Chains A and B, each alone.
Chain A
Amino acid sequence: MPLSRHQFDLTALTVLYATLLHAPHFPVWLTLGLIGLIVARWLQRRLRPDWGKPPALLRLPLTLALPVVVYLLYGNIFGLDPGSVFSVGMLVLKLTESESLRDARAVVTFASFVLMAALLFEQDLLTTACVALGVVPLLFNLRALEPDGSEAPQPLSLRSLGHESRSVLLNLLAAVPLAILVFLFLPRLAAPLWATQTTPKNRTGLSDSMSPGHMGELFLDDSAAFRVSFDDGVAPPPAQRYWRGVVLWRYDGRTWSRAGGMSLRPDRQPLQALAPEIAYEITLEPSEQRWMYALDLPTTDTASQTRDEDYTLSAVHPLSKLTQYRLRSAPVYRLDGLDAQQRQRALRLPANFNPRTIALGQQWAQQHDDPQRIVQAALDLIRQEFSYTLSPPPLGRQAMDDFLFETRAGYCEYFASAFAVLMRAAGVPTRVVLGYQGGYWNTTGDYMVVRQSDAHAWNEVWLAGRGWVRVDPTAAVRPDRIELGSGAANSGHSSWYGREWLLNLRNRWDIANRLWTQAVVGFDELTQRGLLRSVGIKDANWRQLGLAFALSMGVLAALGLWWATRRARDKGDSVDRAYARLCARLGRRGLARLGPEGPADYLRRLLRQWPQARDGLEPLFTRYMQLRYGQTEISADAARKFVQSARQIDVASLRTG
């Protein structure tokens, strides 16, 4: 059967929506090309429907061009990105040749796959909501493909859409409980069936190396890095909100990177908490990296991670999904243990780099014999002479010389790097720590969200007798960066951005996103086994879960079957109801119909009492008798007409005539 205009329009709409969902990770020209194809086909079918589908001469090159385009784009045919271009391209090409119901059904079937594929790239609340919205045109489409038997096919209009959308939305709503049930109980795979090698995405998270100018983009990224909920519900004071990530030892003159760290041996690197520990849980967004963050400094050891000698926490595999872990940290601590090999690594500087900086460091080492005084000298220098900016001037080959003696403006990376070089030159073992500093306390949700823009770099210096001590040179130049968070420090650069109401809105949105990530995105086998906790089973096995699933499915099935087989209350047909109403109205005027009295007898009695009502009542009763007892089938029109006239007749005036 050929597609009607209405049906084709809806199919094109479905395809267009599915294509737009993939636009964020497509190159712009590809998106525009695909949309152009859809629009061209739509116009052709509207203006020149007699052309039919485009000739094979046109379709074949397009079809063959698709793999070529994919290969040119990604250098590969397999994988998530090439696959998505492939499937969206196929979908659009299928639309261009769709002429029959069968074609349109194939398009809809494939469109649902393409909708789902959009979720493989991004699974936050917004994307999911957009994809879920795509189900509506999809179902509309399926519905329009099935002839409904009404006389004239309706053109696509707002009104018809509104009418149809009601039943489609009701259908969707009714499907939600079943969908949730299936989602909760569907067994998850223990290991993936095929390797899901995702190409590293352009996530601007923290990396495991640092060179000045590296983090600039990160400060503009407002997405959450992780969220923390504290066991006692109280956030640590701002000055203690240092979220420690990677510790960097090696410096090559430009970049700080991580030396292959040894694993932690608690007897060699003893950690002593000097204040009550804080227990908390971190929900880490997928970062495609192994590093895990902890409040400075984590005291517990858990199975899911390894600890290095410098208390850097890392997972075994890169974290490609949401990760939750519990930790305890000591906000005030004493960390000892620096062997000769470590001391050497913490003092090493590359040759032929930054001679002026090294000279200054050596000069300080001669002036002061107490390392603490050297640290103080550096901090004083930074406080007095330097300024904080997010767009610092570029640096040359002798980067730290340029920074310390020429430009004197930068942000945390610059300060941490310069400070570490100075300290090492002065003979004080120093390392660089990458992490986050700050975090916004969400009072509505009772948790703390740490954003990418809170990324920070600071130092740890070794002081004999005190162990490793955290020093934050950025705090010297910009104390409010620490006290108020990155928003305050960067406020000069984003004037409208940090406004109070917007911040409020963003935090509310963050709560929704957090709930979504925790409840849905982060749902895994472990959560599944805890499903039956409310009935007292802490760690359910498959049999118990299966039983629970079967029970709740039974309840839903019973509900559905009850709804399907429920008999509608038979209220008689419209004609009978109208007649009954008419009789009731006549009854209120004093002449009620007697129980077994038929319409003919009733009419006779009425006319005896009110002879002047003949003109009004007789045609009505005659028509009723015809409708009810006549041989012919009642037409819908006649029935409606009778109902209308029975309602309109003025009973009061009948008596007076």
Chain B
Amino acid sequence: MRRSRALGELWLRLLAQAEKQLPSLTRLRAREALPIRLDRRRIYVLPTAFGLVFAAMLMIMSVGALNYYNNPALLLTALLGSVCVISMLIAFRTLDGLNLTSVQSAPCHAGDVLTLELGFASGARARAGLRIDIGASGRIIATRADEPSRALLTLPTERRGLLTLPRIRVWTRWPYGLFRAWSWLSPGIEVLVYPRPEANAVPLPFGSREAQRSVVQPQGEEFGALREYRTSDPRRLIAWKASARHDRLLVREPEQLTGQEFVLDFNALPALDLEARIARLTRWVLMAEERRARYTLLLPGQRIGPDLGSAHAHRCLRELALL
């Protein structure tokens, strides 16, 4: 087990070295715009280890058949061999014509696991046994003809800011596991990773302008309190009943629940270093959202708010992530 892992690492190192040396191998590492269509120029096929073993067995069988002058046995071996060759074409066809149409992700905080949703368009044929890998995470999907399909993958994050997606490998061993067809995809997509919030929750600063209170409005599901769903809205805000009635996704507007108002000032935390300040501000933004209190974020040369709601929080966290 350990040896196979060591071999795998060696292989990856060799591959990296080769890609550094040979420009033609790195050609496909250039970023591409979506949609990316797989075609014969970028699909590679090689036999798997099992395929090699099976081929060795076919060799043994054909030598035996030849030695015994046994034509039916030879015919059988030839038939099995031809089936293998055709399975190579099928493996190729499983990838050929596949379209990566979309990459979506819900923003997450650094240190959390990012969930990616890859959308594929299958084209005119159904495909089975499609494997999609990003880093260590993989999925096997089957697609139907003319229908979009999706694969959910996870990606661990470490640092705040824009995360460039690593290469995506789309591969398959369909139908018999004898050949592996693969293709590397490098969509030029960057995903926003929010800063990691501070672990211990320091209470929100009760600053200067917290006095303004607004009337607490009852939370309702009437049409007035609802708005269209936006991609960035958290799922828990979806008003399911109302959505079903109006046949489209609607979310509750939580603005009506304001209590106090906070000012979250970057410059008011001189005792901390940059990352610690960002972590604390991130935590505060989350806490304020939790309390449904209006807040203003003051960053060097920037002022966001006062406001409340997922869109506002997103803006704040985004600025913090990119700081």
Contact = CB atoms under 8 A, between A and B. Distances in A.
Interface of A: 105, 109-110, 112-113, 115-117, 119-120, 123, 127-128, 131-132, 135, 139, 142-143, 145-150, 167, 171-172, 174-180, 182-183, 186, 188-189, 192-194, 196, 321, 520-524, 560-561, 563-565, 567-571, 573-574, 619, 622-623, 626, 631-634, 636, 639
Which of B54, B60, B131 has the largest count of A CB atoms less than 10 A from its CB? B54
Given A123-B71, A175-B86, A112 B79 contact: no
A189 B67 contact: yes
Contacts of A132: 76, 79
A175 B78 CA distance: 9
A151 to B, nearest CB: 8
B9 interface: no
Contact of A520 (B75, B131, B176, B231): B75
B249 to A, nearest CB: 8
Contacts of B78: 178-180, 182-183, 186
Given A147-B129, A149-B130, A633 B102 contact: yes
B146 A149 contact: no
A568 B99 CA distance: 13
Interface of B: 40, 50, 53-54, 57-58, 60-83, 85-87, 89-90, 92-93, 96-97, 102, 104, 117, 119, 121, 123-125, 128-131, 139-142, 144, 146-150, 173-178, 231, 247-249
B72 A564 contact: no
A174 B66 contact: no
B46 to A, nearest CB: 16
Nearest to A571: B124
Contact of A570 (B65, B90, B123): B123
A143 B69 contact: no
B177 A188 contact: no
A565 B129 contact: no
Given A149-B142, A180-B75, A633-B150, 7 more contacts: A120-B73, A132-B76, A148-B140, A150-B142, A179-B79, A564-B89, A567-B97
Contact of B147 (A145, A522, A564, A574): A574
B80 to A, nearest CB: 6
B67 A196 contact: yes
B86 A145 contact: no
Nearest to A134: B76
A563 B96 CA distance: 11
Given A110-B57, A112-B57, A565 B96 contact: yes
Nearest to A129: B72
A179 B66 contact: no
A564 B85 contact: no
A109 B54 contact: yes
Nearest to B176: A142
A110 to B, nearest CB: 7
Contacts of B104: 633
B147 A116 contact: no
Nearest to B74: A183
B72 A521 contact: yes
Contacts of A563: 89
A523 B177 CA distance: 34
Contacts, number: 192
A150 B128 contact: yes
A633 B62 CA distance: 52
25 contacts: A109-B50, A116-B76, A117-B64, A132-B76, A146-B176, A147-B129, A148-B129, A148-B142, A149-B140, A150-B142, A171-B86, A171-B87, A171-B90, A175-B83, A178-B78, A179-B78, A183-B75, A186-B66, A189-B66, A520-B72, A564-B96, A570-B123, A574-B147, A633-B102, A633-B150
Nearest to A634: B148
9 shortest interchain CB distances as A-B pairs: A568-B124, A175-B82, A178-B82, A149-B142, A149-B140, A142-B176, A148-B128, A179-B78, A119-B73
Given A143-B176, A183-B75, A149 B129 contact: yes
B1 to A, nearest CB: 13
Which of B75, B77, B146, B148 has the largest count of A CB atoms less than 10 A from its CB? B75
Given A132-B79, A183-B75, A183-B78, A569 B124 contact: yes
Contacts of B83: 135, 139, 171-172, 175
A569 B123 CA distance: 9
Contact of A174 (B50, B74, B86, B231): B86
Nearest to B85: A178
A176 B146 CA distance: 31
Given A176-B82, A182-B81, A636-B144, A120 B70 contact: yes
Which of A143, A149, A167, A573 has the largest count of B CB atoms less than 10 A from its CB? A149
Given A109-B54, A520-B72, A633-B102, A149 B141 contact: yes
B231 to A, nearest CB: 6
Contacts of B62: 186
Contacts of B146: 571, 573-574
B177 A105 contact: yes
Given A182-B78, A622-B247, A560 B177 contact: no
Contact of A564 (B53, B73, B93, B247): B93
A177 B78 CA distance: 10
Contacts of B81: 179, 182
Nearest to A573: B146
Which of B63, B79, B142 has the largest count of A CB atoms less than 10 A from its CB? B79
Contacts of B54: 109, 112
B151 to A, nearest CB: 9
A178 B82 CA distance: 6
Nearest to A193: B67
A493 B249 CA distance: 87
A14 B175 CA distance: 17
A93 B62 CA distance: 25
Given A149-B140, A167-B175, A105 B50 contact: yes
Nearest to B248: A626
Which of A179, A193, A626 has the largest count of B CB atoms less than 10 A from its CB? A179
Given A192-B67, A196-B67, A634-B148, A186 B140 contact: no
A176 B142 CA distance: 28
A632 B144 CA distance: 19
Contacts of B68: 120, 192, 196
Contacts of A110: 57
Contact of A632 (B60, B77, B176, B231): B231
B83 to A, nearest CB: 4
Contact of A623 (B69, B96, B247): B247
A560 B89 contact: yes
